Structure 1
Amino acid sequence: MQSEAVIEFLGDVPVLQRLPSSSITKIAQHVVVKHYNSGECVFQEGEPDGAIYFIWEGEAEVSRSFYADNHDSQVFQWGKFDHFTSSESDRQEDIIALTKVTCLMLPHKYNSLMHPYSLWSADMNLNTCAPSEHILSLDPLDVNTFRGITLKGAPKSGKVYGGQFMGQALAAASKTVHFHKILHSFHAHFLLAGDINIPIIYKVDRLSDVPNVATRRVNAVQKERVVFFLIASFHKEEEGFDHQEQTMPSVPDPESLLPEHGLEEGVKLPRHHPRTGVSTSTSVPWPTEIRPVDPKKYAIHTTRHPSISYWLRAKGRLPVDQALHRCVGAYISDMLFIQISLNPHRREGIIPSSISLDHSMWFHRDFRADDWLLYVIDSPTAYNARGFSRGQMFNKKGELVLSAMQVGVVRKLKPPTTTSKL
């Protein structure tokens, strides 16, 4: 059996889709092909306990006396892409082949491959991994349910940052599809403010699976209420037409620009540059490096054009998994986005506010989120208390890697009034 065919099959096994792609590749190297005739016991004399079986074809029946550790399903019959574990008691009658059955058996000594440290890295080290990877590492509760948290020190402003919802929801969706199918678009809606003090449960619906495309819906749940949801589409890489009409603006290189927050990693600032952005209980450093193209500082009351450009990249070094880089791209895309639609309306005596309603993105080309990306944002219109912003990200070669759009409620708040106590 060819290794390419084995990897292709294992990528469609639901229990394996939550693993890093590198783990699936390693599992493919260690599985053993097993064949059984109808009515034959799956476990043979001398079979090691704890081995994991993935059904390649055929059906198997589980007797009522079977008590293997299979938390993901309570069924007593299995078919293609299902998995089961050999019984601790090694009872030969536990599992019977209903038809001719072909299984891929992973010996017990390789079971550790089924338990990586994160969705993205088999050997993740929390002390050295990139902050954005840590933020987007969810806990799988079953094949369609994941748990995320707002980490201590993660960007927030009294509520869950919108980019966190998108990045974590996309991480959950990405871990329910074949790793050869890569996220190409999503459409998200923000329903309620997220509570930073409690976990977020991400429930994935497998809406559609065809050979080259998959569609998923993800609900983010807190306190038994859906606070956010998105629909995402995934596409297997294939050859096709290639063109790009949009050109990247001519801007200075990021290395020649000053960082947004006081002292960034590896950058020595001149003495006159203020050291702002110090971590406090309400303000923490972003897991990204930011270099504004226009270094001029604007006050909240300064009227200006509804556009901005800045270089950004995730801090640290991320694993090679393209699925993670696209989740990080979604995570960072929400920074300074809908707020740009407020720029023409900033003036003394007006306190502007914005609340995101929906967010859509399209991924055009592979990219690395830990390499510099130029984010170009503008807001062509605002009306009826709704602002509209659109953005494009380019890599340093000038390739357009993603496009984004967002609509939000934008309002002017009345300044607080003070009443004399006299």
Structure 2
Amino acid sequence: MKTVDDLLNVLILEELNEHQFNGVSKSIGSPNVFGGQVLSQALNAAYRTIRNKRILHSMHAYFLEAGDLELPITFDVGIIRDGGSFSTRRVTAKQGETTIFILAASFHRVEEGHSHQVSMPTDLKQPEELLSWTDVVNQYGAFLPEAMKTFLSIERPIDFKPVQLPNPMDRKDLPPKEDVWFRLKGDASKLDLATKQQVLTYISDYNILSAAMNPHASRAHFGNTQMASLDHSMWYYRDFDFNDWMLFSMDSPSTYGARGFARGNIFTRDGKLIASVAQEGLMRPKSV
């Protein structure tokens, strides 16, 4: 996938009937289905059953089994409730007879109300001052571990520019945080809010567990640690556009018992808070 159009071809599902949809997968460099893809496809399925113009405001999901990249995924949507202000949907994703994922999503009619938000970090380098994943490979590829080089070299519909760029040859523990600028490739100016939320959810599963890995970076890395998303929650606040760089600012309150927890806020470049994310992931040291 090279642009947002390629991404939408994956996220927008084939309708089998009014409550059941079918999806395909694209690899992002791991042997299993990318969690952000399943999250976004499930939201696409849920949104397709909303008839009253309500907008997604929160979702909570569990990853149950590793998805097979070669098999289609069937999404079944349960109509749980259509109340006066909120609609609730349950989505179950299956490959064959195996349930690999479940999601609950809540949609809210547009209302006026009070407004406040936390501020975006202000002491960060701007994206023009930073290297993208592609830049890192082009400039330092000869010095990168092969697995990292392969992952960073894959073509994606998103550019990522991490604010902190650790030296893989000088392993040391880092603060439990991660700040990454990102921008879509291609024209996203005509996307409606529902589609933008689905794309943003896809992006939200990138990078977040790095915040939980950083405090252990002197001895733990993706090559010697089994990593997998266990659950994912997200809250959506305001409309936005993808015309400029956006910031995903993450931190990790705790890792313990082979699990890491991380949370983050997503801001537009001008400081508008548009979403918050929380995820717990498996961080199991591999036997050497």
> Normalised by the size of structure 1, how large is the TM-score?
0.61
1:347 positional shift: 3.0
Instruction: Describe the shift of the 1:353–1:339 C-alpha distance in structure 2 as closer, same or farther (beyond 3 A).
Output: farther
- Alignment match, 1:205: 78
Q: 1:288 aligns with which of 158, 172, 185?
A: 158
Q: Deviations over 1:155-177 (max 9, x none)?
A: 14110001011011011111110
Give the distance between the partners of 2:149 and 2:283, measured in 1 at CA.
Answer: 28
Partner of 2:130: 257
Q: 1:346 to 1:250 in 2, by over 3 A?
A: closer
Give, as a single letter, the amino acid of the residue that structure 2 aligns with 1:330. Answer: T
Considering only CA atoms, is the larger Rg found in Structure 1 or Structure 2?
A: 1
Q: Unaligned regions of 5+ residues in structure 2, if any?
A: none
Counterpart pick for 1:307 among 171, 177, 181? 177
More off after superposition, 334-343 vs 197-206: 334-343
Structure 1 residue corresponding to 2:191, chosen from 320, 339, 353: 320
SS of structure 1 residue aligned to 2:135 = coil
- Do structure 1's residue 333 and structure 2's residue 204 form an aligned pair? yes
Whether the aligned pair in 2 keeps the contact of 1:367 and 1:401 (CA below 8 Å) is yes
2:216 counterpart letter in structure 1: H
| CA 1:298–1:281: 2 relative to 1, 3 Å | closer
Tell me whether 1:160 sits opposite 2:33 in the alignment. yes
1:398-409 to structure 2, matched below 5 A, reads 398-409=271-282
Task: Among all aligned residue pairs of Structure 1 and Structure 2, give the percentage whose two residues are the same amino acid.
Answer: 37
Q: Distance in 2 between matches of 1:290 and 1:128?
A: 13
1:342 and 2:213 are equivalent in the alignment: yes
Distance 1:273 1:283, change over 3 A: closer
User: Which has the higher relative contact order, 1 or 2, with Cα contacts under 8 A spaced 6 or more apart?
Assistant: 2
- Where do 1:81-96 residues align within 5 Å? none
Question: Residues of 1 paired with 2:151 and 2:249: CA distance?
Answer: 31
1:135 equivalent in alignment to 2:6: no
Match of 2:59 among 186, 191, 208: 186
Aligned length: 282
Structure-2 residue corresponding to 1:15: none
Computed over aligned residues only, the root mean square deviation of the Cα atoms, in angstroms, reads 2.8
Runs in 1 of length 4+ with deviation above 4 angstroms? 126-129, 272-283
Quick one: which of 98, 110, 127 aligns to 1:225? Answer: 98
**1:88 matched residue in structure 2:** none
Q: Deviation digits for residues 341-385 of structure 1, max 9, x if unmatched?
A: 122223348722222211100011112245321001111111222
Deviation, 1:136, is 0.8
TM-aligned CA distance change 1:127 to 1:372, over 3 Å? closer
Letter in 1 for 2:229: S
CA distance in 1, matches of 2:186, 2:85: 33
Please state if 1:386 is matched with 2:259.
Answer: yes
Q: How does 1:19-30 map to 2 (within 5 A)?
A: none
Provide the residue aligned with 1:196 in structure 2: 69
Structure 1 distance, partners of 2:204, 2:271, is 18
Which structure shows the higher strand fraction? Answer: 2
Q: SS where residue 303 of structure 1 aligns?
A: coil
Cα 1:369–1:189 change in 2 (3 A) is farther
TM-score by length of 2: 0.88
Q: Which has the higher helix share?
A: 2
Q: What SS is found at the alignment partner of 1:388?
A: strand
Letter in 1 for 2:84: P
Q: Deviations over 1:18-76 (max 9, x none)?
A: xxxxxxxxxxxxxxxxxxxxxxxxxxxxxxxxxxxxxxxxxxxxxxxxxxxxxxxxxxx
CA distance in 1, matches of 2:255, 2:125: 30
